Amino acid sequence: MSAKLPADAKGIYVIAATPFYDDGRIDFDSIDRLVDFYLKCGVHGMTVLGVMGEFQKLSESETIDVARRFITAAKGRIPTIVGVSNPGTAQLTKIARTSMEAGAAGVMVMPIPGLRTDEAVLGYMRGVLKELGLSIPVCVQDYPQLSGVYFSAGCFLQMVDEFPQIAMFKHEEAPGLRKLSAIRRACDGKARRTMPILCGNGGIHLPQEYRRGADGGMTGFAFPDMMVRMHALFAAGKADEAEDLYDLYLPILRHELQPGIGLALRKEILRRRGAIGSAAVRAPGPKLDADDIAELDQLLVRLERKTGKAVTKI
């Protein structure tokens, strides 16, 4: 059983893929293998059933089975956050409670599409957080590129002030470097409690985000081992070395970040690294064609040349 999300969470929380067989059934054995892989990479936490986990293509019972298997496989060695965003608050709450009972460290919630103003976002979050109660730590996901929901730094700060159970901010509005700085400054541990800020958006600005005070990253990038080493270098005050390491991987990171097909590319890399059995994405979803494969081959050859080590090596 994992402990709950700590108030000072930091580091690399990997967004876990959900492994499927080629025919679309869930590959539970690959969940175990994938967790081992992430642990070998040294990740500090794991978020399951996010966008990269194809949560929208799972039934409710599959959702719960997948969350349980990830949590069980992690054996409490790292905290597991479960993505519970859902059009219905009752379903959201049910999945959240079941996940916490199964040992989750917290849940991640993204405001649903259709909220137009800070007032509307706050109203929505109040409804959800009242149902979830005080005992479930919540990571608020700010991903307007997907949800279409924009809220201000001030709106998030109001959530922090109203709801003690908010335990983490997943920052991925783009462009969003100034919003990060604003929240970082406001949650300074004096005027307001501190707040772990983990950055997503594929990690495309991660070194800049660290320099602006981010506590870590939360992405599905297929080389979380690099991010873990980068985090350690930043923590050791070696920011330039950290960014040098990151820059070696930037070409493949940028390639993975393409909407839609990016998920298929990530799963293919995870497959090549031995982390999952099949790169299958559930329908409707992208499939790599011969051009895509050749392109990926070449980018990985370049990565191996630059880093001097095999892609499969952690």
Which residue matches tokens 């070449």? 298
Q: Which of 8, 22, 289, 297 binds its own copies (CB under 8 A)?
A: 289
Q: Which of 65, 225, 214 is nearest to 142 (CA)?
A: 214
- 124 in contact with its own copies (CB under 8 A): yes
Strands 216-217 and 11-15: parallel
- 282 in contact with its own copies (CB under 8 A): yes
What spatial distance separates the first Cα and last Cα of the chain, rounded to whole Å?
Answer: 27
Cβ-Cβ contacts under 8 Å for 72 (sequence gap 6 or more): 102, 103
- 238 in contact with its own copies (CB under 8 A): no
- 142 in contact with its own copies (CB under 8 A): no
Which residue matches tokens 């392109």? 295
Shortest distance, position 295 Cβ to its own copies, whole Å: 6
Asked, as a colleague might, if the bond just before 207 is cis with ω within 30 of 0, I would say no
As a whole number of angstroms, the distance between CA 168 and CA 6 comes to 9
- 237 in contact with its own copies (CB under 8 A): no
Both tokens assigned to 82: 């479960």
**Options 11-19, 170-178, 188-196, 270-278: segment touching its own copies (CB under 8 A):** 170-178
- 247 in contact with its own copies (CB under 8 A): yes
Q: Which of 7, 22, 40, 114 binds its own copies (CB under 8 A)?
A: 114
At CA 125, angle to CA 197 and CA 189, rounded to 5?
A: 35
**Options 157-165, 220-228, 229-237, 245-253: segment touching its own copies (CB under 8 A):** 245-253
CA distances from 29 to 20, 66, 68, 190, 265 (A): 10, 11, 13, 46, 21
Residue (2 or 93) nearer to its own copies, CB:
93
Q: Which of 72, 147, 165, 181 binds its own copies (CB under 8 A)?
A: 181
Shortest distance, position 279 Cβ to its own copies, whole Å: 17
Residue 8 DSSP SS3: coil
Contacts with its own copies by CB under 8 A lie at 24, 54, 56-61, 87-91, 94, 112, 114, 116-120, 124, 127-128, 131, 144, 150-155, 174-175, 177-178, 181, 204-205, 208, 211-212, 240, 243, 247, 250-251, 254-255, 258-262, 282-284, 289, 291-292, 295, 298-299, 302
